[in-house]
Amino acid sequence: MAQDLSQPTMFTSDMTAREIFVEVRANPARARFGFGSKLAIVNVDPQKAYTRPDLFPKTSYITDPRQMEHIDGISAAARTKGLPVVWTHVAYMDNAADAGVWGTRTDTPDSLQNIKYGSQRTEFDDRLNIDRAVDAVYTKRMPSAFFETPLQSFLTWHQVDTVVLTGGSTSGCVRATAVDSLSHGYRTIVPIECVADKHESYHFANLTDLLIKYADVVPVSEVYDAIAGYQG
């Protein structure tokens, strides 16, 4: 029988985004990209504007209360093995002239383009121990950590084939970076405990989509194991 093209074929469900993620992740037939021969940790925007709801309640979010601990832990483990660690944060000029069209939708004290250079909102979370002598720290202005930053050339120089992504938001800058990471040819890994978002639905819907299409979404313990097994 011919397909009726006048009717939608999109699936519907009464399941929550979290339940769908759990179901998809539990599928034993789902193939994985896996870890390659050398990984880098890329920590996307773990800055106070997004990690400290006590300071910035309108823009910050906590999904896993141990997120900063996990990010700091895998970064320290990678650093000990001589593996690259990258940190990005968002910041703009005082007049937001470098925010582009992304900064035109709103203009309140909490708006994106009002994350100014040198402000508290740009500072990395105090729970993170960044070694600026060896870690790469980049300022970005758009969602992806690859866009108009040195990240790609840095990863190429260090012969990285696997990118481990942490930070936030899951539905925003982590997702954008994950898509770019895969597009640049990297095995892309998202440790569940290391990413966060404002709403459970956004978080788990995007984890599901990343898992199906662009990345391996795994427990952070798998990242620790991969780092421990690296021989250099």
Give CA–CA dist 30/32, Å, rounded.
7
Based on the residue annotation, tell me whether 194 is a catalytic residue of this protein. no
Distance of CA 91 to the CA centre of its chain: 17
Q: What is the pLDDT of residue 107?
A: 86
Q: What is the pLDDT of residue 98?
A: 93
Q: What is the pLDDT of residue 7?
A: 83
Q: Provide the residue count of the chain.
A: 232
Q: What is the pLDDT of residue 70?
A: 98
Q: What is the pLDDT of residue 16?
A: 97
**What are the structural domain ranges in the chain?**
33-89+126-228
Report, as ranges of residue numbers, the positions in the chain whose pLDDT lies below 70. none
Among candidate residues 212, 218, 229, the one with its CA nearest the CA of residue 195? 218
Q: What is the pLDDT of residue 104?
A: 87
Q: What is the pLDDT of residue 126?
A: 98
Q: At residue 111, what is the residue type?
A: S
The single residue of 44, 163, 173, 176 carrying the catalytic annotation is: 173
Q: What is the pLDDT of residue 10?
A: 86
CATH fold of the domain at 33-89+126-228: Rossmann fold (3.40.50)
Phi, psi of 124 (to 5 degrees): -65, 150
Q: What is the pLDDT of residue 8?
A: 83
Q: What is the pLDDT of residue 5?
A: 83
- By the 8 A CB rule, do 163 and 40 touch? yes
Span between the terminal Cα atoms of the chain, in Å: 58
Q: Please report, to the nearest 10 degrees, the dihedral formed by the alpha carbons of residues 125, 128, 132, 138 taken in order.
A: -50
